[in-house]
Amino acid sequence: MLRRFLLPRHLSCRYNSSSTKPWYVTTPIFYPNAAPHIGHLYSLVTADIFARYNRIKNPSRPVVFVTGTDEHGLKIQKAAKAQGLPPREFCDTISQQFRRLSKEADISYTRFIRTSEQAHYDAVQSIWRELDSQGLIYKGSYSGWYSVTDECFYTDAQVTHIPETPSSPARTIAKETSSPVEFSQETNYMFRLSSFRETLLQHYSTHKDAIFPEAYRTYILSILESPLEDISISRPQSRLSWGIPVPGDSEHTIYVWVDAVISYLTGIGYPWKDAGLSQGWPVDVQVIGKDIVRFHTIYLPAILQALKLPMPKRLLTHAHWTSSQKKMSKSLGNTTDPFQAMSEFGVDSVRYYLAKVGGRFRDDVDWSHSQVSKHDKELQALVGNLFMRVTSATMMSRVKEALHNSDGAAELSEDLRLAFRELSDASAALAGKVKGNLDEMEVADALDSVVDLLRLANKVLSDAAPWKHPLAHVSLESHRGCLEALRVSGICLQPFIPGVATRLLDALGISSEKRTLESAKETDTFENVQAGMRLFGARK
């Protein structure tokens, strides 16, 4: 496995202060009612790819990366009670598992926020007071279908009534998530969401890249074409005691989703003394799962518009990982343990699989143990075996021989000249392809372009067969071309498999300042890489 050849190394999250607005990326604030599953890791790795990409794309610009846990709500309250623990103690334990997941998966976050922090309480209550001062909050009687699983109220139009059958009782479920719901009627505080329909519709109609993939923008536009109902933003304290109290009314608790989406502001120090630019606002990319798109495209933006803050620039909405074509869930017992997967295959092999198979975001993807194993072997062959072959004792001996024969290049066959030229051109074009794909959020396509180059380098090496070719110069050109392919691939692989990429670039002797995307566009000289390799060997 690759981890035996190239071991992962955690990337420092620190950055230098700068007057430039930091590039800001977030994951969902995960709900810690149970241990993390592979879907949580998927969101983390996706956001981490963009964080790391932007660090090598523009090294002078700080990157802020916020993740964390959303710890309030009825679901947490019930889960804690089932464990016989106070909610905070329960959250302390589960939240630590999410922090551990981030560490073990080499996630380069800069801030891990917990919504149980005092700073978050202060920010949420500050925003509540501001919304209230504008007349956007009022008290009213509210009735609807509530899902504890989703922590969400649904209208009659958003639920399905399933009649009784011989094998199951009658039940009502949410159309969007299939979660069970119960009818609830209570006096709550309401938010005038209806007031923001037109401005939200105008925003998403004008900003066609605000939601990716496009299908989710189309879905939100369809919702906004009809009137929006005001939403309940509190629960009676008698039903929900674990949460942030409504300012001035301790008998009510702030609705968990209002609490949760504000964490993206709290995570960078809201309330700010300025407009938030120096801290990173507006967020450049928010990574979320498709089941929470409504909260991030309607609820949060409405609050931001009320606060007169800029809208998030882009929302990346990914699909789900399934098991045997069924959504993973604890109740079905079909979740995949990310810690076990990383232990078995290695961190970078799991990251590679998540990015390569799940990096198109449009459709659900089925987790397959055998496919992870296949991709693990593919990665080992593409990177590890190529490096070992091109730096073998036999190859190095023939390279040394060719360096003493300057006329060897003239003797290359036309087929070999074309093959080496194709490899050289592909190496030179790689950085531009990766940049183009990642700027368009096409993670799998970006990784495929690196894989294509590595496959080409392996093919050229195998076809040239320098270890048995009578002309020693074939070894020199094979060595030169494959080293350059490995160098640019190593630079471009840093966002996806940082441990492998770091070890590869170390082995090639590439200095830290030469690991930027711009450096990958520059053709390095064979002699520089050779010198770097000698220095690396001397250090070892």
Q: How far apart are CA 527 and CA 412, in angstroms?
A: 21
Across the chain, which has 540 residues, the per-10-residue mean pLDDT values are: 37 45 97 89 98 97 97 89 92 94 98 96 97 96 77 80 84 84 86 97 97 96 95 91 95 94 96 87 97 95 97 96 69 78 95 96 90 90 92 88 71 89 96 98 98 97 89 88 96 98 94 95 65 43
- For tokens 């990096």, the residue is 359
pLDDT digits (tens, 9 = 90+) for 387-396: 999 999 888 8
Whole-number Å distance between alpha carbons of 322 and 336: 9
Instruction: Give the chain's length.
Output: 540
For the four alpha carbons of 241, 151, 261 and 128, in that order, the dihedral sign comes to negative
Q: Is the pTM of this model over 0.85?
A: yes
- End-to-end Cα separation, the chain, in angstroms: 22
**Rounded distance, CA 60 to CA 160, Å?**
52
DSSP bridge pairs for 43 = none
Q: How far apart are CA 80 and CA 117, in angstroms?
A: 18
- Tokens standing for residue 175: 């159309």
CA distance 233 to 218: 26
The dihedral over CA atoms of 76, 77, 83, 87, expressed in degrees to the nearest 10, equals 90
Q: Give DSSP secondary structure letters for 447-480.
A: HHHHHHHHHHHHHHHHHH-TTT-S-THHHHHHHH
pLDDT the model gives residue 9:
32
Residue 539: the pLDDT is 33
Residues 6+ apart with CB under 8 A from 113: 29, 66, 67, 68, 69, 120, 263, 266, 267
Q: What is the pLDDT of residue 298?
A: 97
**Single-letter amino acid, residue 342:** M
List pLDDT tens digits, range 211-222. Answer: 999 999 999 999
CA atoms of 327 and 337, how far apart (whole Å): 14
Which residue matches tokens 């055998």? 370
Spatial neighbors of 318 by CB under 8 A, at least 6 apart, are 42, 43, 46, 287, 288, 289, 290, 358, 361
Q: Strand, coil or helix: what is 318?
A: strand
Q: Which residues contact 179 (CB under 8 A, 6 or more apart)?
A: 147, 149, 150, 173
pLDDT at position 530 is: 58
8 Å CB contact between 489 and 383: yes
The runs of H, that is alpha helices, within 183-319 are 197-206, 214-224, 256-261, 263-266, 293-294, 300-306
Query: What does the angle CA 26 – CA 28 – CA 29 come to, to the nearest 5 degrees?
Result: 105
> How high is the pLDDT of residue 407?
60
Q: Are strands 231-232 and 365-366 parallel, antiparallel or unpaired?
A: unpaired
